[in-house]
Amino acid sequence: MKTIPVIPFLILLMARPEFLTAQSPVISGQAIGWAGMNIYEPVQFLTGARYIPQLTFGDSVGQKYTLDAEISVHARGSATLTEGQEQTAGSLKPYRAWLRFSGNRFELRAGLQKINFGSAAILRPLMWFDRMDPRDPLQLTDGVYALLGRYYFLNNANIWLWGLYGNQDTKGWEYYPTRKGTVEFGGRGQVPVPGGEMALSWHHRTADPSQTLPDTLNAGTRIPENRLAIDGRFDVGPGLWFEGVLIHRKPEHTQLDFRQFLNAGIDYTFALGNGLHLLGEILLAGEGKKPFEQQESVLFGGLAASYPIGLLHQIQAMVFYDFKGNQTYRFLNWSVTLDRWTGYFMGFWNPGQYRLFNLETGETALFNGAGFQIMLVYNH
């Protein structure tokens, strides 16, 4: 079990033992159950449940500052029935565990947390520290162990600085995990511009291919990696945005030193009925020996539509197309909300093996092939 997220809370309790009793802690949670079927051969029946309890508490520090915290865990179990053979899986792990010190124009947050930013919505080059699937109605994602600082200027500009440590799993679009015992660090600056806002982001880490490719050639290999990104969002009637990322690596056993992503998108809500929201994005990703060289590349397009039916119902549809592989991905979701309960009725028709979102395995494998899934969520 990792001890990193516990450290901020031990420091807090030693410095301010009255913290837990200053305000009543808030206990909340989310219970989720699902069942589904994949009709591709071999036919699969899937069922599972998860529970994410959450504890939040906070206190003022003088008249200008606030100290607050969040602790939550993720308990999950699932079963798959394929041709009479049953497979079960389960896990229990920390989900969030962070401590935040904040004022009117700054915040400093330490521990297990979610860090995400950028302008894109469904095909995100700046998916650096999360793996949120746009088809997931709950937008669940693992956090990272990090120290994050943000400062907000009076003109709506802001600066982010971060350092990550103890994250051995791959994140976002990463091929290889970060080398154990090394620190990742970076920052982001965002400024207002006429009609919108723009930002520059940078991140450095050392990758370890031996954890993914355990052979003698990769033993002890270090791959320094630097990421540079620019993104912007503009409101000119429809919303317009772009994201561009250039990644430079120094590998020892491959000639493809550069990796790049480019996204452009648009969205608009039409005055049809209760309001029809349409969103479109295109993503070009590739690798090469030189910057912006496309020796190996993929090109994806995505279209999403959502429409509310009254106050309780909403329909959402997504279609993605792989221009290089000539493959289409389809997803439909009808949601119903009643007080603390929400039901999701989802259908999907996708290739059996796919490349979307760098999430070919794990929970997103529920959307492989063609089938349906019913999910019931209770929030307390």
* Residue-range domain boundaries for the chain: 114-379
Residue 361 has pLDDT above 60, yes or no: no
Token pair in block for residue 55: 């504890």
Nearest to 4 by CA among 143, 117, 129: 143
The pLDDT assigned to 5 comes to 47
Between CA 335 and CA 30 the distance in angstroms is 16
Say if residue 74's pLDDT is above 70.
yes
The per-residue pLDDT for 288 is: 87
Higher pLDDT, 63 or 144: 144
Q: Could you give the percent of the chain with pLDDT greater than 90?
A: 73
Predicted pLDDT of residue 217: 56
Q: Which residues, including other chains, have CB under 8 Å from residue 180's CB and lie 6 or more apart?
A: 168, 208
Query: Can you name the residues that pair with 258 across neighbouring β-strands?
Result: 248, 288
CA atoms of 196 and 190, how far apart (whole Å): 11
Report d(CA 138, CA 363) in Å as an integer: 13
Give yes or no for residue 356 having a pLDDT over 90: no
Kindly report the pTM of this predicted structure.
0.89
CA dihedral 247, 280, 316, 232 (to 10 degrees): 60
Whether 181 contacts 208, CB under 8 Å: no
What's the average model confidence in pLDDT over 97-126? 97
Q: How far is residue 183's CA from residue 33's CA, in Å, rounded to a whole number?
A: 37
Cα four-point dihedral sign 282, 285, 290, 291? positive
**Vertex 362 angle, CA 45 and 178, to 5°:** 175
Q: How confident is the model at residue 18 (pLDDT cuts 50, 70, 90)?
A: low
pLDDT confidence of residue 304: 98
Residue with more model confidence, 360 or 376:
376
Residue with tokens 């809370």: 9
Mean pLDDT of the region 323-346: 95
- Judged by DSSP in three states, 152 sits in strand
Task: Identify the pLDDT of residue 19.
Answer: 53
Q: Which CATH architecture has domain 114-379?
A: Beta Barrel (2.40)
The position carrying tokens 């606030």 is: 66
Is the predicted pLDDT of residue 167 greater than 80, yes or no?
Answer: yes
Q: Flag the least confident range among 26-30, 239-243, 368-372.
A: 368-372
Residues in the chain: 380
User: For the segment 258-306, what is each residue's pLDDT rounded down to a tens digit?
Assistant: 999 999 999 999 999 999 999 999 999 998 888 887 777 899 999 999 9
Q: Is 3 a residue whose pLDDT tops 50? A: no
How distant, in Å, are the alpha carbons of 57, 373, 376 from that of 379? 18, 20, 10
Tell me the average pLDDT across 220-242: 93
Looking at every residue in the chain, the average pLDDT score rounds to: 89
Q: For the residues 188-217, what does the mean pLDDT come to?
A: 88
Percent of the chain with pLDDT over 70: 87
Does residue 7 surpass a pLDDT of 80? no
The mean pLDDT of 207-230, rounded to a whole number, is 78
Lowest-confidence range among 48-57, 200-209, 243-252? 243-252
Which range among 102-106, 111-115, 182-186, 210-214 shows the weakest confidence by mean pLDDT? Answer: 210-214
For residue 355, pLDDT over 70 is answered with no
What is the pLDDT at residue 64? 92
Q: Residue 142 above 60 pLDDT? A: yes
Q: Flag whether pLDDT at 91 surpasses 60.
A: yes
Query: Residue 210: is its pLDDT beyond 70?
Result: yes
Mean pLDDT of the 55-71 span: 94
What is each CA distance from 191 to 126, 155, 160, 199, 305, in whole angstroms? 17, 8, 12, 6, 30
By mean pLDDT, which of 48-62, 229-243, 348-362 is the weakest?
348-362
CA distances from 101 to 109, 147, 189, 214 (A): 6, 11, 20, 42
> Is the per-residue pLDDT at 252 higher than 70?
no
- 114 near 96, Cβ under 8 Å? yes
Residue 348 has pLDDT above 90, yes or no: yes
CB-CB contact of 145 with 165 (8 Å): yes
**CA–CA gap between residue 271 and residue 152 (Å, rounded):** 35
Residue 1: pLDDT band (50, 70, 90) is very low
- Report how far residue 289's alpha carbon sits from residue 281's, in angstroms, rounded to the nearest whole number: 27
